[in-house]
Amino acid sequence: MENFRTLKFLDFFKPIFEKMGVDYHVMRKILQVKMMMDRRRVPTIFNQNRNKQKKESNQFFKSLWLYAFFGLSIIPFMVMGENYIFQMSIAYSIVMFIVMTSMISDFSSVLLDLRDKNILGTKPIHTRTISAAKIVHVSIYLFFITASLIGIPAVIALIKQGFPFFLLFILGILFLNLFILVFTALLYLAILKFFDGERLKDIINYVQIILSISIIVGYQLAFRSFEFMDTINNYELTSQWWQLLIPPLWFGAPFELVLHGNWNVFIVILTVLSLVIPIAFLLLYIKLMPAFERNLIKLTQQQVGNKKERKNKNNWFVNLICQTKEEKCFYRFANTMMKNEREFKLKVYPSLGFSLIFPFIMFFNELRVSTFTELVASKWFLSIYFTFLMIPTIIMMLRYSGKYKGAWIYKTTPIQDQAAIYKGTLKAFLVKLFLPIFLIVGVIFTLIFKVQVIPHLIIALLSAFLFTIISFMVMSKSLPFSQSIKMVQQQGESGKIFLLFIPNAILFGLHYVSTLVSYGIYVYMIVLLVVNYFLWGNKRIFNPTKSLQRT
């Protein structure tokens, strides 16, 4: 096995581990195997391209440049101005968010690894050695993430602010990382104590989604962080008791205490918390570690419940939008798959996040050159068409699943109406995924543009239904959830997705033109209703016979 340079460096600390009662030789072997296996792991921030990666290289290290890019957003808060407690609290907030979401999304599998318990636990290896290997394993990658994130800002801070500032920053990062690592483990322990393993898996999945969505927000923040400095330099912190509950303030306070000599009681308390809380959490985790290991067994348990009552409550809605029994059946099937398929959600939900934030990014970009009153009087509500960006991507993804081998059921089920498979699935997508995003944006736009925007929202919704049909007709056809999700990057559908920007732009243009004619929006609304009625009722559109061949 490869003798990693990280492990060679770790050898210098061998006496420390041995004094702690850890079998260093065994721990090193465990880490060596784990790091070999890590070559298969693709970081969440590379999730959309995971099938393009080379299998024999550690993709984690290739992702570090992206963390370094996000770190650029910290620089203005560290070098401009001397309102240390406020600007450093923001800097630590950025670090804490990125490191903690990366920790949960990419390394939860390490903290929650049952193989250590099932395989190593049956061997003559002390639990202290196994636990040490787990903590060191996570700490190694936590170090690389943090070093990439703060490397450039730290060097610039050293040059601009001097060595005392640099030393305080590095010490703060060390204690912040300790806090993040132990807090995450204690959070998992609390969840496993009161809930089942499925709830924890859901939380981890959603954090992965948040991290993917935060990439685009990070780009915005990196380029605009310099605009915040005038506000920061003029901001004065007013002491409030609830501020003691905000961790970034703990780590920003030492700068005010040491560099400005501010011995205000509130600043001193915050500084003490930055030292005491991480150490106290570490001691608590060490004490609760046996309970944590016992509760990990819940990750193998499946929650079983009676959902008959919920199903009955939803029957009226399913009957309203689906005409046949087969269509209702596949609507429920697709709805369940989209709800429970973790790999599907991890691939698809970032698209939902992009569609949710893009209209507001465009809106707030315009606010930089126009007043809010001018925007309210304009037609910027048409930016809601950016929510349509998710539609082609998700329609493409509806054919994929981590449980694709179960597609044999299509061949064993006596399906009379093949169109029902696709109509039910598309309707489930619109109700389950698209409508919630559209409604959120629509409600906010109604608050901004007032009730006169409601007819335009109805037109946009009808346009979305039409665009769904167009996207379905253009994309390649295959039975829903019948292909391996590993084949996502091998289908060559990206060109079609970009091609579908054209009909989206046409629908946007037609909506805009309708606003230039008296009663034009109402005429256009009726036209869209008629077109949707005939297209959604046309079974030939939903009867691609080639797609019924098993893949």
157-214 tens-digit pLDDT:
898 888 999 999 999 999 998 888 888 878 777 777 777 666 666 776 676 566 556 6
Which structural domain range is residue 26 located in?
1-41
Per DSSP, the chain holds a count of helices (H) and strands (E) of 26, 2
The gap from C-alpha 287 to its chain's centroid, in whole angstroms, comes to 32
228 part of a folded domain: yes
Contact in structure between 141 and 149 (CB atoms under 8 Å) = no
Has residue 189 been placed in a domain? yes
- Gap between the Cα atoms of 219 and 70, Å rounded: 7
Same domain, 182 and 213: yes
- Taking only the tens place, the pLDDT of each residue in 64-84 is 777 888 888 888 888 777 778
Q: How many whole angstroms separate alpha carbon 121 and alpha carbon 125?
A: 7
Structure tokens at 422: 């696709």
Assess whether pLDDT exceeds 90 at residue 510.
yes
Distance CA 430, CA 320 (A): 14
- The answer to whether position 59 is within a domain reads no
Q: What is the pTM of this model?
A: 0.63
Q: Can you state the percent helix, strand and coil of the chain, rounding each to 5?
A: 80, 0, 20
Predicted confidence (pLDDT) per residue in 272-319, tens digit: 999 999 999 888 887 887 777 677 666 665 554 444 545 555 677 888
> Is a pLDDT exceeding 50 seen at residue 55?
no
The three-state secondary structure class of 454 is helix
Q: What is d(CA 393, CA 347) in angstroms, rounded to the nearest whole number?
A: 10
Flag whether 520 is in a domain: yes
Give the confidence band of 140 by pLDDT, cuts at 50, 70, 90.
confident
* Ranges 486-490, 501-505, 533-537: which has the least confidence: 486-490
Q: What is the pLDDT of residue 8?
A: 86
Q: What is the pLDDT of residues 104-117, one digit of tens each?
A: 766 666 666 666 66
Q: What are the structure tokens assigned to 393, written together?
A: 């991507």
Residues 26 and 163 grouped into a single domain: no
Q: Does residue 469 contact residue 388 with C-beta atoms inside 8 Å?
A: no
In angstroms, the CA 352 to CA 392 distance is 12
What is the pLDDT at residue 525? Answer: 95
Whether 531 has a pLDDT exceeding 90, the answer reads: yes
The number of beta carbons lying within 10 Å of the beta carbon of residue 309 is: 7
> Which pLDDT does position 416 carry in this prediction?
74
Dihedral of the alpha carbons of 86, 90, 96, 101, in degrees to the nearest 10: 150
Helix (H, G, I), strand (E, B) or coil at 421: helix
In 479-516, which positions are buried (b, 16+ CB within 10 angstroms) versus exposed (e)? bbbbbbbeebeeeebeeebeebeebbeebbeebeebee
Quick check: is 47 in a domain?
A: no
Is residue 111 within 8 A of residue 181, CB to CB? The reply is no
- Residue 269: phi and psi, rounded to 5, are -60, -45
Residue 484: its H or E element? strand 483-484
Co-location of 77 and 204 in the same domain? yes
Residues 17 and 153 grouped into a single domain = no
Same domain for 322 and 285: no
Helix spans in 296-324 (H): 308-321
Residues in the chain: 551
Residues 397 and 526 in one domain: yes
Q: Coil, strand or helix: which one is 483?
A: strand
Domain assignment present for 270: yes
319 and 295 fall within a common domain: no
Asked if residue 116 and residue 17 are part of one domain, the reply reads: no
If you average pLDDT over every residue of the chain, what do you get? 79
Percent of the chain with pLDDT over 90: 18
3-state secondary structure 108-142: HHHHCCCHHHHCHHHCCCCHHHHHHHHHHHHHHHH
User: Based on the domain organization, do 153 and 198 belong to the same domain?
Assistant: yes
Highest mean pLDDT: which of 186-200, 249-263, 523-537? 523-537
Instruction: Judge whether 57 lies within some domain.
Output: no
- Inter-axis angle of helices 325-340 and 419-429, nearest 10: 50
Identify the pLDDT of residue 294: 72
- Please indicate, yes or no, whether residues 521 and 386 belong to a single structural domain of this protein: yes
Q: What is the domain count for the chain?
A: 3
Do 108 and 15 share a domain, yes or no?
A: no
Q: Tell me: do 252 and 375 sit in the same domain.
A: no
308 within domain boundaries: no
Higher pLDDT among residues 365 and 503, named by residue: 503
